[in-house]
Amino acid sequence: MANVSAVNTSRQRVLESLHHRQPDRVPIDFGGSATTGIHVSCVAKLRDHFGLVKHPVKVIEPFQMLGEVEDDLKLALGVDVTPVLGPRTMFGFANENWKPWSLNGLEVLVPGNFNVTVAENGDTLIYPEGDLTALPSGRMPKGFHFFDAIIRQNHFDPDHLDSSDNLQEFELLSQADLDDIAAKARAAGTGEYATFASFGGTALGDIALVPAISLKDPRGIRDVAEWYVSTRSRRNYIHQVFSRQVEIAIENLQRIYQRIGNSIDVLFLCGTDFGTQTSSFCSVPTFRELWLPYYKQMCDWIHSHTSWKVFKHSCGSSERFYESFIEAGIDIVNPVQCSATGMDPEYLKSKYGERLVFWGGGVDTQQVLPFGTPQEVREQVLRRCRVFSPGGGFVFNTIHNIQAGTPVENIVAMVDALRSFSA
């Protein structure tokens, strides 16, 4: 490969690629964020496969039940990225005081405030902030592997909406929160791995977050359909929510930056999905009116004050928004769902390769990784690396989290293919 830069650490490898320069090998992320992770059951199987110390795996993201990728597993998988998580999980409690829990017979570790009850039909119910006296905000169907949000939509008067209701979960970080973030950034920012931060508060209308499963008494518009409808019929309201949310977010980013400086490399900005399998959730003009100005405001602040790169997740057929993402100042796109309409890898790389980093797109998780043969996995991984890796601008990740039930042989075939590609 021509012009390969000298790289001594995982972090440098990722940074080279983020700056669109060819690193020594394809940089890899597994476990860096809530959309690039591995289900805890698969983490456990991988640890077994590689003969790593046997112990229950920590669930670091309790909604999707993503497992911690510890340093020994990072090494086995070739991972170059490490997460810096915010003070609280999606259910509003902290990742601390770990305790054992059985996930369909697999012993895992969960945070101390991961408090659940079992409903009559066998579903597992989980409570915001771990408060068993509140209404449950998540439900894991019996025998399944992750939680769904329980929609708690209180009555609201459509003629007298108050945007502060939908801003309930967006607050200035407390001193304790800032201390927590600073400690985590310090621990992760040794220079060995690229650091991938998810502080929260910057996602604009992510439908996974709208139900506010961290809150005990969510107010405002919390129902999925009601929210989508509002993006058309109550646009002023959504503008009010987004504009105030972004003010708070920027103030928080400022305060975080004062504490941690450039010790993080990548910021998870937003997980709102704009694509569906064959189309999108809104038109490009709608995106440009309702989202772009707010993304741009946050990205402008970040780029003029920090060296952080901005990461945007959007599933499905999202290509039509890429030009606007670039205009907003987004550096990195994920998960690059190549199986959706208009998401052909060659086309994406040739059109956007110099302006966007593809963090994902490595292997299809709808069919190939869960249901293909190891040979099919291998072939697709090699093909995707050939397309996406030249000139940098690529961090390998599966398309969205590795789902429970994915055969470990297929994950291993993926890792082997990555190794042989870079050899």
Partner 1 sequence: MANLKKLYDAVLNGDAKTAVAVTQEAIAEKLDPAVLISDTMIPAMAEVGRLYECEEYFVPELLLAARAMKGSLTLLRPLLAASGTKPTGKVVIGTVKGDLHDIGKNLVASMLEGGGFEVTDLGADVSPDKFVSSVRELKPDLLCLSALLTVTAPSMRTTIEALKQAGLRESVKVMVGGAPVTPEFAREIGADGYSENASQAVVTARQFCHPDKAA
Give the binding site for ligand B12 (CB under 6 A). 64, 146, 148, 207-208, 224, 273, 276-277, 315-316, 335, 337, 340, 365-366, 399-401, 403
Residue 137 binds what, of ligand B12, partner 1, none (CB under 5 to 8 Å, by partner type)? none
**Least distance in Å: CB of 230 to partner 1?**
8
**Least distance in Å: CB of 146 to partner 1?**
10
Site size for partner 1 (CB under 8 A): 29
Residue type, 284: V
Q: Please tell me whether residue 22 binds partner 1 under the rule CB under 8 A.
A: no
Residue 399 binds what, of partner 1, ligand B12, none (CB under 5 to 8 Å, by partner type)? ligand B12
Query: Tokens 């977050």 sit at which residue?
Result: 209
- Residue 21: exposure state from Cβ atoms within 10 A (0-12, 13-18, ≥19): middle
What is the rounded distance in angstroms from the CA atom of residue 348 to the CA atom of residue 336? 9
Site for partner 1 in 363-392 (CB under 8 A): 366-367, 370-371
Copy the structure tokens of residue 43: 């983490």
Copy the structure tokens of residue 307: 């060296």
Cβ neighbours of residue 67 closer than 8 Å, sequence gap 6 or more: 31, 37, 38, 39, 40, 41, 42, 43, 44, 57, 58, 59, 60, 108
**Least distance in Å: CB of 301 to partner 1?**
29
What is the rounded distance in angstroms from the CA atom of residue 218 to the CA atom of residue 168? 7
Copy the structure tokens of residue 90: 């999606």
What is the rounded distance in angstroms from the CA atom of residue 398 to the CA atom of residue 359? 9
Q: Which residue, 276 or 422, is less far from ligand B12 as judged by CB?
A: 276
Q: Which residue, 38 or 328, is less far from ligand B12 as judged by CB?
A: 38
Q: What is the CA radius of gyration of the chain?
A: 21
**Least distance in Å: CB of 225 to ligand B12?**
8
Residue type, 165: D
The CA distances from residue 329 to 46, 256, 267, 301, 422, in Å, are 37, 20, 12, 10, 30
The correct pick among 99, 186, 232, 305 for binding partner 1 (CB under 8 A) is: 232
Q: Please tell me whether residue 289 binds partner 1 under the rule CB under 8 A.
A: no
User: Which of these, 96, 102, 97, 95, lies nearest to 116 by C-alpha position?
Assistant: 102
Please give the torsion angle defined by the CA atoms of residues 70, 375, 18 and 274, in that order, rounded to the nearest 10 degrees: -90
Site for partner 1 in 128-167 (CB under 8 A): 141, 143-144, 148-149
**Least distance in Å: CB of 421 to ligand B12?**
23
Residue 335 binds what, of partner 1, ligand B12, none (CB under 5 to 8 Å, by partner type)? ligand B12
Residue 337 binds what, of ligand B12, partner 1, none (CB under 5 to 8 Å, by partner type)? ligand B12
Q: Which residue, 367 or 375, is less far from partner 1 as judged by CB?
A: 367
Q: Please tell me whether residue 225 binds partner 1 under the rule CB under 8 A.
A: yes
Query: String of b and e for 44-63 (b: at least 16 CB within 10 Å)?
Result: bbbbeeeeeeeebbbbbbbb
Residue 273 binds what, of ligand B12, partner 1, none (CB under 5 to 8 Å, by partner type)? ligand B12
Q: Which residue, 123 or 180, is less far from partner 1 as judged by CB?
A: 123
**Least distance in Å: CB of 282 to partner 1?**
5
What is the rounded distance in angstroms from the CA atom of residue 53 to the CA atom of residue 55? 6
Residue 233 binds what, of ligand B12, partner 1, none (CB under 5 to 8 Å, by partner type)? partner 1
β pairing state of 148-149 and 57-61: unpaired
What is the rounded distance in angstroms from the CA atom of residue 154 to the CA atom of residue 350? 48
Residue 262 binds what, of ligand B12, partner 1, none (CB under 5 to 8 Å, by partner type)? none
Region of 26-34, 74-82, 167-175, 398-406 interacting with partner 1 (CB under 8 A): 398-406
What is the rounded distance in angstroms from the CA atom of residue 380 to the CA atom of residue 1? 21
**Least distance in Å: CB of 270 to partner 1?**
18
**Least distance in Å: CB of 104 to ligand B12?**
15
Q: Are 377 and 369 in contact (CB under 8 A)?
A: yes
Residues that bind partner 1 (CB under 8 A): 141, 143-144, 148-149, 224-225, 228-233, 276-283, 286, 366-367, 370-371, 403-405
